[in-house]
Amino acid sequence: MARLVLWNMMTLDGMVAGANGDISWHEDVWAPELEQFSEAQLQEAGGLLFGRVTYDLMAGYWPKEGGVIADFMNRVPKYVASRSLSRLEWSNAHLLAADLAADVDRLKEGSAKDLFLFGSADLASTLIAHDLIDEYRLAINPRVLGGGAPLFKPGQAIKLRLIDSRALSSGVVTCAMFPCGRCEHIFRSARCRLRCENTGSLRRDCRAAHPCPSPRSRQRDRLCRIGRQLVTPVMPGLCPGHPCRSECARRRGWPRQARP
């Protein structure tokens, strides 16, 4: 089952767009580091989700552009939530069904790669209410707009757990967070982190290797940054051993001794 990842640029006061949908403030921090980060994320995406307003902006921009990101945006499957549109002109774009939550759940079940939600604050609010977002990735811009479109609507209470953060030279801080209580694997570039609350099934690609018998074990696992597999726990006995490519372990020095 694929995950749904929310990816958004956000200001310090929680806005994803200014008055009348203005996102010109993105240009203040769009630099090679953030562009590389965005390109790396494209490798994880099997489809994109948009609300109507975001779709209109994207469809009016990317078909005329060139380059790696433009080629991806024009090629990848795109799913649009709209009550007013009956036909989509952008290549490989599809309308979501009226039962939005059920349709998105069906897409997650059928996709081999993760789905990404860009922009689309209203659509995000709906999906948050149905607990369909599995990871929040935010690029926090050091700017206050004082008004506009907030990502999180009043009355939406969510407890998140920070799993990764990085400060970029442009001033942006990228953050990755999981909703608390989720048991998930996150693969990003050559890094692999296990985040298990022992409350549900692991993803199909690691379920057999990691039954996760103890919530304490997640704090003591060392992970292979090259082979994307778990290796021997730092404190053996708390959790079963996990396979790891010996070459990966040798190059990183993790662990002292890899179990077969």
Tell me the residue ranges of DSSP E strands in 180-229: 184-188, 191-195
Look up residue 255 and give its amino acid: P
Position 174 scores a pLDDT of: 93
Are residues 94 and 49 in contact, defined by beta-carbon separation less than 8 angstroms? no
95-132 pLDDT tens trace: 999 999 999 999 999 998 999 998 888 999 999 999 99
Torsion of CA 58, 60, 66, 71, to 10 degrees: 50
Q: Among the listed ranges 36-45, 74-83, 159-168, 224-233, which one has the minimum average pLDDT value?
A: 224-233
136-191 pLDDT tens trace: 999 999 999 999 989 998 888 889 999 999 999 999 999 999 998 654 444 332 23
105 CB-near residues (< 8 Å, 6+ apart): 132
Position 181 scores a pLDDT of: 65
H/E run at residue 38 = helix 32-42
Torsion of CA 83, 86, 90, 96, to 10 degrees: 50
Helix (H, G, I), strand (E, B) or coil at 141: strand
> What is the average pLDDT across 16-38?
87
- What's the N-to-C CA distance of the chain in angstroms? 28
- Average pLDDT of the chain to the nearest whole number: 75
